C-alpha cells in the first residue's frame, strides 16, 4: 500500500518535500531526509518527462512516495505518469465537479474509472496482480485555488474515487483579491482555508496544503491537515547559499 495511505489509515499526517529543480540526485537526497513523500512540481518547473522518470525512481528507492503536481488536469498525462511510477497526483486549478470527475477517472481502472492498462513501473513494485490493488497504491488530490473552485467545493468533494483536495494558498489568495503568498494574514483568505478544511473533513475527504516553511507545516498539521508540504527545494537552496556567502564574507547572518 502507498505509504501516505498507511499514515492516513493510522490517523497520522504526511509531510512532503516540494521539488522545483530537475535532478535525480537531488530527488534521491531529499527522499533520504525523512519525508513521507516528495512532490515533483511539473507545473512550475522545467522538468521534462525523461527527467521525471529518473526522479520518481530515485525517490522511491529511498522509501518516500513519489508524487507529481501535474501541469494540468490532462488524463493522458496523468495516466502516463502513473505508469511511470507516480503514486500520488495533485491536479491544479480544479473548479468543477466535472473536472474532479475527470481526474478520478484517469486515476482508476474500470469499473471505477477509465485508466488505460499499461503499468510499466508499478507492476515491478506491486507484482502481477497490480490491477486488483491499483487504487490502494495511489493518492489523488484536486487543487482548490480559485474562487470558482471554492464556490463548487461541495460538488467537487462528492466525487467518488477522489481522495481529497489540496489547497494552493497563493493562487487562492490572488483569486480572492489578496497578495499571492503561502501564508496569508488576510482574514478573507484565512476564512476560505478554514472553510475548505472543515468541508473536506465533513465529507470524509483528505485535505492538504502547500506550506512555505516547516513552521507553517507544523501549524497546519496542528489545525488538522492530512498532507503538508514544507520549504520548497529552491527556497532551501537559496537560503543556504546566501547564508554561506555571508559567513564567508564575515557579514551578519539573518536566519
pLDDT in tens, 220-240: 999 999 999 999 999 999 999
| 208 vs 202: CA distance, rounded Å | 15
116 domain residue, yes or no: yes
CA-wise closest residue to 39 among 154, 186, 139: 139
Q: For the range 10-14, what are the long-range contacts, defined as Cβ-Cβ under 8 Å and sequence gap of 24 or more?
A: 13/221, 13/225, 13/226, 13/227, 13/228, 14/226, 14/227, 14/228
255 domain residue, yes or no: no
199 domain residue, yes or no: yes
Query: Three-state SS for 89?
Result: strand
Residues 134-160 pLDDT 10s: 999 999 999 999 999 999 999 999 999
For the chain, give the mean pLDDT.
Answer: 97
pLDDT of 255: 65
| 145 vs 126: CA distance, rounded Å | 34
pLDDT at residue 191 tops 80 = yes
Domain range enclosing 243 = 3-248
pLDDT at residue 254 tops 80 = no
pLDDT of 13: 98
**Residue 120: which CATH number?**
3.20.20.60
253 domain residue, yes or no: no
Q: Which of 1, 12, 25, 44 is catalytic?
A: 44
Determine whether 3 is an active site residue. no
Taking residues 66-83, what's their average pLDDT?
A: 98
Amino acid at each position: 500500500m502507498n505509504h501516505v495511505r498507511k499514515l492516513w489509515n493510522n490517523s497520522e499526517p504526511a509531510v512532503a518535500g516540494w521539488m522545483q529543480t530537475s535532478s535525480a540526485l537531488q530527488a534521491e537526497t531529499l527522499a533520504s531526509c525523512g519525508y513521507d513523500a516528495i512532490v515533483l512540481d511539473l507545473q512550475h518547473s522545467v522538468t521534462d518527462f525523461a527527467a521525471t522518470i529518473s526522479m520518481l525512481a530515485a525517490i522511491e528507492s529511498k522509501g518516500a512516495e513519489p508524487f507529481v503536481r501535474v501541469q494540468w488536469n490532462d488524463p493522458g498525462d496523468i495516466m502516463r505518469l502513473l505508469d511511470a511510477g507516480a503514486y500520488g497526483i495533485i491536479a491544479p486549478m480544479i473548479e468543477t465537479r466535472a473536472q474532479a470527475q475527470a481526474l478520478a477517472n484517469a486515476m482508476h481502472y474500470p469499473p471505477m474509472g477509465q485508466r488505460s492498462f499499461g503499468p510499466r513501473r508499478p507492476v515491478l513494485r506491486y507484482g502481477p496482480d497490480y490491477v486488483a490493488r491499483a487504487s490502494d497504491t495511489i493518492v489523488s488530490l484536486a487543487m482548490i485555488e480559485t474562487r470558482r473552485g471554492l464556490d463548487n467545493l461541495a460538488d467537487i468533494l462528492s466525487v467518488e474515487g477522489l481522495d481529497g483536495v489540496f489547497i494552493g494558498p497563493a493562487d487562492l489568495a490572488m483569486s480572492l483579491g489578496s497578495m499571492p503568498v503561502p501564508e496569508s494574514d488576510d482574514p478573507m483568505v484565512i476564512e476560505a482555508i478554514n472553510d475548505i478544511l472543515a468541508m473536506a473533513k465533513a465529507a470524509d475527504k483528505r485535505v492538504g496544503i502547500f506550506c512555505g516553511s516547516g513552521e507553517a507545516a507544523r501549524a497546519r498539521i496542528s489545525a488538522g491537515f492530512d498532507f503538508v508540504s514544507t520549504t520548497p527545494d529552491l527556497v532551501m537552496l537559496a537560503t543556504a547559499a546566501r547564508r554561506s556567502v555571508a559567513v564567508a564574507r564575515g557579514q551578519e547572518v539573518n536566519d
